[in-house]
Amino acid sequence: MRYLIAKLSFLTPMKWCFGLIISIGLWNGSASFAQNNSERVQETQLPKTDFYDYRGTHGLSTALGSAVINGDYANPEFGIYMGFGYKKSIIPHVNVNLTFNKFNLVYKDLFNKGFMSFDLNAEVLVFPHERFSPFLFFGGGANASNYFEAVDPKMQGGLGLEYIIYEGLSFRIFGDYNHVFSDALDGKIYGDADDVYWRMDCGLNFYFGGAKKKAKLLNAVPTIIKTNPIPADN
């Protein structure tokens, strides 16, 4: 009888010890889960600001490539093309840009003439918060021969790829289609179709601005302590 009582008296403290260990483990697990969940909530609440690190709200662009006409003569050839521009971001996905372009349109052994264009485009960036992103643009403008001997309205659209080399600096390749509302671009009027030309080029974008917008976005987010506080250990 004494042996049985001694055994039971030994088991009771052991049960309490096991119960205490399990309780502490469950409490620590709950606290850890709450903390991890709070961190996940905080991450989902933080706005994406990579756009302002990689790119920015303003940009200056350069381009160098070639242009080729599709007009009323046979045997078109590629002529040299260069461009300079400025862009302003409305939101990270969308910007408006104005470019000045200088290029030659050429037919083999027949025609080689210089032109200018002033293009106003809306540009859509597919992945503005990533280093690599496709983009597309469309808009209108004016096409002019050298010395403004002839000026015609035009519309254009294009596609391209951009890669951020370093924060604030990107490399771009793109091509665009340009429809001039005139059939006299190459000096010959034939049929009812207007003259068009294509441009293919590569260039650099120099981005700047956006630090204030980034700070404003981050300051507007409640801290994790305010939104989901974790009780301190007692």
221 or 177: whose pLDDT is higher? 177
Q: Is the pLDDT of residue 34 over 50?
A: no
Q: Are 162 and 133 in contact (CB under 8 A)?
A: yes
* Rounded mean pLDDT, 26-55: 63
Query: Residue 13 corresponds to which amino acid?
Result: P
104 or 35: whose pLDDT is higher? 104
46 or 170: whose pLDDT is higher? 170
* Rounded mean pLDDT, 89-116: 95
C-alpha–C-alpha distance, residues 120 and 88, integer Å = 12
Instruction: Please give the pLDDT value at position 35.
Output: 53
DSSP label at 146? G
> Is 102 exposed, middle or buried, given 0-12, 13-18 or 19+ CB atoms closer than 10 A?
middle
C-alpha–C-alpha distance, residues 144 and 193, integer Å = 19
Percent of the chain with pLDDT over 70: 74
